[in-house]
A and B are shown apart, each in its own frame.
Chain A
Amino acid sequence: MSDGGIEHHDYDVLVLGSGGSGLRAAIAAAEAGARTGLVCKSLLGKAHTVMAEGGLAASLGNVAPEDNWATHFQDTMFGGKYLNNWRMAELHAKEAPDRARELEHWGAVFDRTPQRTMSQRAFGGHTYKRLVHIGDRTGLEMIRTLHDKTVHSDVEVFMETTITRLIKDGERVVGCFGYRRQTGELIAFAAKALVLATGGSGRIYKITSNSQDCTGDGYALAFEAGAQLVDMEFVQFHPTGMVYPPGVAGLLVTEAVRGEGGILRNKDGERFMERYDPKRMELSTRDVVARSIYTEVKEGRGTPHGGAYLDVSHLDPDYVKRKLPSMYDQFLELAGVDITKEPMQVGPTCHYFMGGVKVDPDTGATRVPGLFATGEASGGMNGANRLGGNSLGDILVFGRRAGEGAAATANASGAVSLPAEAVADARAEIEGFLHGSGTENPFHMHRELQKIMGDGVGIFRDEEGLTEAIGKLEELDARVANLRAPSDRLDYNPGLQLCREVRNMLTVSHMIARAALLREESRGAHSRLDHTGYSDYWGEHNIIVEGTGAHDMSLTPTPVVKRDELEELVEARKEAEKAS
């Protein structure tokens, strides 16, 4: 159906985002009987989940029979420095094994144990060998499996479609608006329930492991629609990204390299993790390893290209090629380094957003009626720091729950329609990017934003740097209304795409910088040079972000959401950590 040049569609449930959480949500919604649509910014199967390498954490106990959900829950809470939403960490630990087995039944193929069950590998912060994997391309296996399941479910897919606005009718989200990237044709969706599965926002940093698509669209859209966000100050810098050549700086070097026995050394050949975490060494949590490498480099013990050495050359070359095939190819092709013979050079890279839209753990519902969120777009599960392998479990467990939650809301709801005024507004925004009088170039502004965030809101933070960064972000606020695509053509216009993405990224950057300034302590992925220790107060509080725009963004410390029946497990882990 088309109206005034706008293509219209109508669904019970519409899912935005086709990474693991979006696909899992769409499958669940369709299975629950909802007429389901799925919108992807790129082609189907290309989402950022393909980049996940190491594995999916699930306490199957195939390699370590003593493993169980309670230990996984405790590990997740310890990794998150006890700021996690307890219920989310519980649901994740309890349900991940079922979700892993379910993937096998949908055709996923994982590495095996000698007993022919799914094999599991060690990863930082996990007490037992827990990560289901296939070589170092676990994310690709998962996305291909979910992609095939989706196209054979009753889900209609809109590829290369960008959503620029959520549309509300009163207090309720009733749909969204955007355009088809291939043609520039405008498109509007009415939906009784809408699921944000839009991933993170790594592109706010120059050095990032994230795909081009990761521009925080869901965070900004949810914020503008009135949802709350939580834990935005916690940005995970993965300890090991490539540092050279320049074009690939930030490209992920999987934690599986360390899981399989890789050793970190500084330029003097010292195994420096002995000084930072002698117990866990290379398999300490990501926040600790990232800060350790950063500190070594800053104190003059870095490699020629400003990183640390990561070495697997002591391992059998055939084993390395079998267990880490993409890392072997990646270094050989892009850096001219044979990792079976010489060490890699690695340094921290922006990898994951622990924070996100605040949701009801069981259903993925936000506080805005009709709006749901899941996966990296949602917050709470990972607290102050995510353990490796927990994101692939997260997207399955909470993707399914959000899909079912959205379907339940849709099935109980009457028809919805899009208010004409809101649609006209959304249309005007896109037309402004194409034909307005603005003079700001989105490519240039994106670079400026990345510099501000890298300089002031990076791995180590302090009041002065954060305050300066916020000042510079406010200067960008004044200019963002003048963004205009350098070309006004409709078909496949990269400048048009970036205009809205830069606005989203600016909103997200404000949230991160302001929450980082408010949290006067160092915890998990958030490290303040001027507040280096833990604070008792902040150890009990999450920061909630809400408002109506960048100029009206309020931040409120809110007590951590606990659960009485889990108190014993959490206290036991705290005691054990103290004792060691």
Chain B
Amino acid sequence: MSETIDLAHAPGPRKLQIWRGDLTSGELVEYELETEPGMVVLDAVLEIQRSQAPDLAVRWNCKAAKCGSCSAEVNGRPRLMCKTRLDHLPADQPITVEPMRAFPLIRDLVTDVSWNYRVNKQITPFTPRENLKPGVEVNAKGEFLIDQTDTDRMSEFRKCIECFMCQDVCHVLRDHRLHDRYYGPRFMMRMASLDMHPLDGVDRLDQIADEGGIGLCNITKCCTEVCPEGIHITDNAIIPMKERVVDQRHDPVLKLLHRTPNKGRIKPPPRSETPRL
């Protein structure tokens, strides 16, 4: 990832094979273009769009690896096109660029990722615990008092830019198409960041286990491997939550505690039947 690159050499022409088509049919179409030093895949795709294929559909926005719009499968691996340099890819073969496969295709490189937004809407938002302790958890101005160590722990997951590439490679979603039973790594991570918030007052365990379907993750760590933010999704978010689910659900004492009302944590409100976005 960080190998030294000779930026000064003239890179010359490259071939890209871009997937063109919609739900009914499609194929890889080859384009050739002149490249310049440091060019990323998105630069190449946009240059092809400008000069050779003006109706080429591609979703992008910031071109700075911050918005997570331009996810695609480059040489078979999910990548942000804006963060993938041509000279990091083998020079002796065409570069293939294809849409993500875990989501319905719209056209060319653009997929319908709206399912992710529907899942997000089902997750109970952060809700501060009632009766926060003055001077310990909240100050006189109403500002939260939180340790930097807690912040760092949550912050790893909040780095997520929602490129949805972890969802794209998740076997549960990509191969088994269990979108109705598993929220996917992105939203396991979201639930983990909420669950770790020291002042959150929602008991999230049932949602993590039941609607969220954490049990379906079989820890192949594919999600972690493709995360452009380097978030340890499996090790730091999913595994600790899996352990907690097992502990709470199978330890008879904890199970009893878990079912005891008025333990300070509130139940999430029932989720809307038809989440709309």
Q: Give residues in A with beta carbon < 8 Å to B.
A: 42-48, 50-51, 60, 62, 97, 101, 104-107, 109-112, 115-118, 134-135, 137, 140-141, 144, 148-149, 151-152, 156-157, 159, 182, 209, 211-213, 244-248, 251-252, 325-326, 329-330, 332-336, 338, 441, 443, 485-487, 489, 491-495
Does B25 sit at the interface, judged by CB under 8 A?
no
In chain B, what residue has the closest Cβ to A110?
Answer: B151
B139 CB contacts on chain A under 8 angstroms: 117
Does B31 sit at the interface, judged by CB under 8 A?
no
Against A, the Cβ 8 Å flags (1 = close, 0 = not) of B39-58 are 11001000001100011111
Q: How far is the CA of A247 from the CA of B36 in the complex (A)?
A: 8
Q: How far is the CA of A245 from the CA of B85 in the complex (A)?
A: 11
In the complex the two chains form, is B120's CB within 8 Å of A212's CB? no
A156 CB contacts on chain B under 8 angstroms: 276
7 smallest CB-CB distances across A and B, nearest first, come from: A245-B38, A107-B126, A487-B55, A486-B54, A492-B57, A116-B145, A46-B67
In chain A, what residue has the closest Cβ to B39?
Answer: A247
In the complex the two chains form, is B62's CB within 8 Å of A101's CB? no
Given contacts A144-B158, A248-B38, contact A213 B106 (CB under 8 A): no
B155 CB contacts on chain A under 8 angstroms: 109, 134-135
Does B154 sit at the interface, judged by CB under 8 A?
yes
In the complex the two chains form, is B54's CB within 8 Å of A112's CB? no
Q: How far is the CB of A483 from chain B (nearest CB, A)?
A: 13
In the complex the two chains form, is B125's CB within 8 Å of A152's CB? yes
B5 CB contacts on chain A under 8 angstroms: 336
In chain B, what residue has the closest Cβ to A322?
Answer: B152
Given contacts A246-B38, A247-B38, contact A159 B62 (CB under 8 A): no
Would you mind naming 15 contact pairs between A and B with Cβ atoms under 8 Å apart? A42-B61, A42-B67, A46-B67, A48-B61, A50-B62, A50-B67, A105-B142, A107-B126, A111-B151, A152-B125, A182-B112, A245-B37, A443-B49, A486-B54, A492-B59
In chain A, what residue has the closest Cβ to B113?
Answer: A43
Q: Which of B1-45 contact A (CB under 8 A)?
A: 1-2, 4-5, 7, 22, 36-40, 43
Does B115 sit at the interface, judged by CB under 8 A?
no
Contact among B49, B61, B69, B143 with A101 in the assembled complex (CB-CB below 8 Å): B143
Q: How far is the CA of A487 from the CA of B50 in the complex (A)?
A: 12
Residue total for B at the interface (Cβ-Cβ under 8 A): 67
In chain A, what residue has the closest Cβ to B276?
Answer: A156
In the complex the two chains form, is A101's CB within 8 Å of B141's CB? yes
Against A, the Cβ 8 Å flags (1 = close, 0 = not) of B93-112 are 00000000000001110101
In chain B, what residue has the closest Cβ to A153?
Answer: B125
In chain A, what residue has the closest Cβ to B116?
Answer: A43
Q: How far is the CA of A10 from the CA of B145 in the complex (A)?
A: 43
In the complex the two chains form, is A495's CB within 8 Å of B54's CB? yes
In the complex the two chains form, is B7's CB within 8 Å of A245's CB? yes
Does B215 sit at the interface, judged by CB under 8 A?
no
Does B218 sit at the interface, judged by CB under 8 A?
no
B114 CB contacts on chain A under 8 angstroms: 159
Contact among B58, B121, B158 with A141 in the assembled complex (CB-CB below 8 Å): B158
Q: How far is the CB of B131 from chain A (nearest CB, A)?
A: 15
A332 CB contacts on chain B under 8 angstroms: 1-2
Q: How far is the CB of B275 from chain A (nearest CB, A)?
A: 9
In the complex the two chains form, is A116's CB within 8 Å of B147's CB? yes
Given contacts A134-B155, A151-B121, contact A244 B63 (CB under 8 A): no
Does B146 sit at the interface, judged by CB under 8 A?
yes
In chain B, what residue has the closest Cβ to A45?
Answer: B162
A213 CB contacts on chain B under 8 angstroms: 61
Given contacts A107-B197, A159-B114, contact A101 B142 (CB under 8 A): yes
Q: Which of B193-227 contact A (CB under 8 A)?
A: 193-194, 197
Q: How far is the CB of A150 from chain B (nearest CB, A)?
A: 10
Apart from the given pairs A140-B158, A248-B38, A494-B54, 15 other A-B contacts in the complex at a CB distance below 8 Å? A45-B162, A48-B61, A50-B66, A112-B151, A116-B145, A116-B148, A134-B158, A159-B277, A209-B64, A245-B36, A248-B40, A248-B64, A333-B65, A334-B40, A494-B57
A50 CB contacts on chain B under 8 angstroms: 62, 66-67, 161
In the complex the two chains form, is A46's CB within 8 Å of B62's CB? yes
